[in-house]
Amino acid sequence: MKRRVAILISGRGSNMAALIDAAKLADFPAEIVTVISNRADAGGLEKAAASGIPTTVIESKPFGKDRAGFEAVLQRALDEKNVELICLGGFMRLFTAEFVKRWYGKMLNIHPSLLPSFPGLDPHGQALATGVKISGATVHFVIPETDAGPIVMQGAVAVADGDTAETLAQRILGIEHRIYPAALRLLASGKVRLEGDVCRISGQAAPDGTLIWPLQD
């Protein structure tokens, strides 16, 4: 049986689209059963509907600071679809610790940096300001602390001297679209296990390569 997945969005749904496309493959171990947005004007809603995915809008603004009230409505929507796993795709709403604990080990997020480096806002600007030579994206489990959960998968790109935050973001976005579906595949296949704060992947061979940048003669 394929695992039932909800994607939560607030905007254009770029990573959502990558997950939906991956889930169309016959051998993919998960199905996207709903897309939920906390904004009625989220561009991803139209993309999801065009792919035949049921969508729901639960406006968060009327709840103000009542995060628990918003989450109660969200949880009912998840229950109605018998959701087993959640993927956050640019979901701009903080959760309470209680909601996160309820979904611990079953809720993924993606962040455009090699965590634990550069969490929070403007990770590309942070990367450029510090002069790192390699950056990338990280899929991780959600915990109450922002961008701090156990790491499931990472992908990297070289940072060029002429990069701007925009050019670096665009290159990393390509990595995001590759690793988010791959991480969901691992989780839905039962190949991910948590050992304390560390995520282990079953059946993975030892790495046989390295990435060094800048290249040397």
CB 12 within 8 A of CB 90: yes
In whole angstroms, give the CA distance from residue 164 to residue 144: 31
Strand 151-158 and strand 134-141: pairing?
Answer: antiparallel
Q: How far apart are the first and last CA of the chain?
A: 52
124 is catalytic: no
What distance in Å separates the CA atoms of residue 15 and residue 32, rounded to the nearest whole number?
13
Angle at 39 between CA 37 and CA 42, to 5 degrees: 80
Residues in a beta bridge with 154: 138
Per the residue annotation, which of 111, 124, 140, 177 is the catalytic one? Answer: 111
The conformation of residue 52, written as its DSSP 8-state character, comes to T
Q: Which residues are the active-site residues?
A: 111
